Amino acid sequence: MATKVAIIASNGSLFDAYKVFNVATAAAASDAEVGIFFTFEGLNLIHKEGHKQLPIPEGREHFQEGFKKENIPSIPELLEMAKEMGVKIIACQMTMDVMSLDKDAFVDGIEVGGAATFIQYASDANITLTF
């Protein structure tokens, strides 16, 4: 039986993005089926402009240098890798409505769905994570 991973991304900092996309791409590289539901501030991680300039927690700016030094891919690169690996990317319809955002505000290749869409996807997941 193949592994299925369901992730909820509800926070929008650079560290949150690394957690979400690092786990998602690692799981996809292990042949797992992966879906991520982006809601509230997590929508920043897939916003066309927002994902390129995510905030770093105060006092942690030195991490940026470490990411570069260790050749860690940028968030735009990790997002592209995740999409190429077949990771399902679902933007929360309710949050988009509340924030008056349309699908074109986000990177290409996403789905838009409500909580029910994610629940259906996650109903048979082996691993469910929230970041």
Q: How far is CA 103 from CA 29, 53, 70, 90, 109, in A?
A: 27, 19, 34, 11, 10
Q: What pTM did the predictor assign?
A: 0.95
CATH code, domain carrying 11: 3.40.1260.10
Please state the rounded mean pLDDT for residues 18-39. Answer: 98
Tokens 């991304």 found at: 9
Q: Is the pLDDT at 24 greater than 80, yes or no?
A: yes
pLDDT in tens, 101-131: 999 999 999 999 999 999 999 999 999 999 9
Range of the domain at 74: 4-57+64-130
Total domains in the fold of the chain: 1
Q: Is the pLDDT at 90 greater than 80, yes or no?
A: yes
Tokens 């539901």 found at: 37
List the one residue out of 8, 127, 12 whose CA is nearest residue 75. Answer: 12
pLDDT in tens, 51-67: 999 999 889 988 888 99
Query: Do residues 8 and 129 lie in contact, with contact meaning Cβ atoms separated by under 8 Å?
Result: yes
